[in-house]
Amino acid sequence: MSASRPDNSELQMNAYFDGELDAASARVFERRLANDAFLKAEYARFLSLRHAVRSIAPYDLPSDLLARIASTLDASSLGEAARPAGVTAQATIQAVARANPLRWAGRSRQRSWSFRALAAAALLGAVISSYVMVTINRYNLRQAIASQVVASHIRSLMAPQPFDVASSDSRTVKPWFTARVHEAPQVLDLAPQGFMLVGGRVDVVGHDAVATIVYKHAAHTISLTTLPPGQSVSDRAIAGYNVRSWDDAECTYMVVSDLPHAELIAFERAFTTESAALEYN
Amino acid sequence: MFDEVFLPHMAEAYRLAHWLTGNAYDAEDVVQDAALRAFRGIKTFGAVNARAWSLTIVRNTAYSWMTKNRSKAVVFTDDLSVTEQQQIEQEGPQGTRVETPEEIALFKADAEEVQRALVKLPEQFREVIVLREINQLNYRDISEITNVPIGTVMSRLSRGRQLLIAILGDRR
């Protein structure tokens, strides 16, 4: 796994190549580049790759797509009495059409849209409502998961200690998880940022054992639960506890604490920064 | 409002949708669907970056569209398959390390070959390469559109480029 992670100089090169390094780092990198044959060769490959990718003929917007979108929009708001936006949408499209007269030869065909628009509206209505149903289901599921995570946090606060393994050393906590949950989480020490690692515990969400890392901030306990990806919820308070969650490629992280949201945002920032630093060093 | 926010980016929106879905028909459907979503959701636009906002909608629409309309589910994984890893390891940095500077020729691949190589890339790499090289967005915007941290954008770009170089280098 770590073997396939790009190393730091590789990332620096990408950042330099994309003009994303600040001036000072760029100068430092340029000096390295000048003295490193391998890096130089790599940079040459990057340049020719960019040239090659940018020489692919661009996909051009089909000439009648704008018109079709305009009629879709008109159709979708047939029920609304006033629709200034649609009027301007048409105006904009006509302006675009005037600018490209040749590509708009097929436009007159689009004039007789009223019946098709009605059919399209009905179809769109069906599509949208099924989409909304799926979204609502997913929303309920996520809400239920967040509630379970909060319940675990509350339960842990009632126990003599909010963790199963006590350690401020991430090298102790991580292997402890490895033996207990399917996917051992990243255990980061965030003490320099004001969040003290105190231990870890296993929570059960649904029927799955998940890893929760426990931090202290002043007298407050923070539970950081690592879930399979795609379970994040918007910021909310459940049973008086604030919940914040975010995703990365591998998992969803959910923090629960009685700290205010601003502190949870600070925690997330500390965590993601540290996580990125760890990943690329 | 919609006209100022979404419409100006329609050509780019189509280009991105075409790259993500892999063909023109699906791209048209996705752009239409995205336009409708943008039109309905225009109130959520925070007046910060119309381009990133529009492309975010297109990108998300493309993936939900593909999930719904294709039997093969959209799989997101940051890890490469074993073969892909081997490919990088054998033909990527380590394979090229032994080349002398004269051998490090520029790609002879023509545009069509490059296009095929890009289509072959796993989609989390393809999307960042397309957003960076074709839409020419900066890391912050790419991070916003793909909803991953900038660090992940960087590592995906890096790995995506290595993969492309490996695929194209193969043909030399």
Residue B61 has a CB neighbour count (10 Å cut-off) of 24
pLDDT tens per residue across span B68-80: 877 554 444 444 5
Q: Which candidate from A50, A85, A92 shows the least CB-CB separation from B133?
A: A50
Structural domain for A190, as ranges = 150-279
Interface test with A, best of B37, B162, B163 (most A CBs within 10 A): B162
CB contact, 8 Å: B119 with chain A? no
User: Is B2-69 a domain of CATH 1.10.10?
Assistant: no
Query: Which tokens sit at A279?
Result: 């990943």
In a domain, A257, yes or no: yes
Question: What average pLDDT is seen over chain B?
Answer: 77
CATH number of the domain bearing residue A249: 3.30.200.100
d(CA B84, CA A55): 26
CB contact, 8 Å: B111 with chain A? yes
Pairing of strands A241-247, A236-238: antiparallel
Domain ranges of chain B: 2-69, 82-169
In a domain, A195, yes or no: yes
Query: ipTM surpassing 0.90, yes or no?
Result: no
More reliable by pLDDT, A10 or A114:
A10
In a domain, A81, yes or no: no
In a domain, A269, yes or no: yes
Interface test with A, best of B23, B63, B100, B114 (most A CBs within 10 A): B114
In a domain, A39, yes or no: yes
Contact B36 A4 (CB under 8 A): no
| Sign of the C-alpha dihedral computed for residues B45, B46, B47 and B49 taken in this order | negative
Amino acid at B152: T
In a domain, A237, yes or no: yes
Contact A18 B157 (CB under 8 A): yes
In a domain, A136, yes or no: no
In a domain, A14, yes or no: yes
Pairing of strands A252-257, A220-227: antiparallel
Contact B42 A85 (CB under 8 A): yes
Q: Are residues A274 and A159 in the same domain?
A: yes
More reliable by pLDDT, B42 or B62:
B62
Q: Are residues A35 and A156 in the same domain?
A: no
Q: Which of A54, A72, A89 is the last residue of a domain?
A: A54
Contact present, A215 and A125 (Cβ < 8 Å): no
CB contact, 8 Å: B79 with chain A? yes
Residue A165 gets which letter from DSSP? Answer: E
- Given a cut of 80, whether residue B92 has pLDDT beyond it is no
d(CA A69, CA B34): 10
CATH of B82-169, one of 3.40.190.10, 3.40.50.10150, 1.10.10.10, 3.40.50.300: 1.10.10.10
Contact present, A249 and A202 (Cβ < 8 Å): no
d(CA A29, CA A21): 9
Q: Are residues A160 and A266 in the same domain?
A: yes
Q: Nearest-5° angle of CA A80, CA A83, CA A87?
A: 145
- Given a cut of 90, whether residue A212 has pLDDT beyond it is yes
More reliable by pLDDT, A90 or A225:
A225
From chain B residues 40-69, the ones with a CB under 8 A of any chain A CB are 40, 42, 64
pLDDT tens per residue across span A15-26: 999 988 888 888
The count of domains in chain A is 2
pLDDT tens per residue across span B94-136: 334 344 343 344 555 677 888 888 988 998 899 999 999 998 8
| Predicted confidence band of residue B88 (pLDDT cuts 50, 70, 90) | very low
Q: Nearest-5° angle of CA B144, CA B147, CA B151?
A: 85
Residue B95 has a CB neighbour count (10 Å cut-off) of 15
The most confident of the ranges A36-45, A158-167, B45-54 is: A36-45
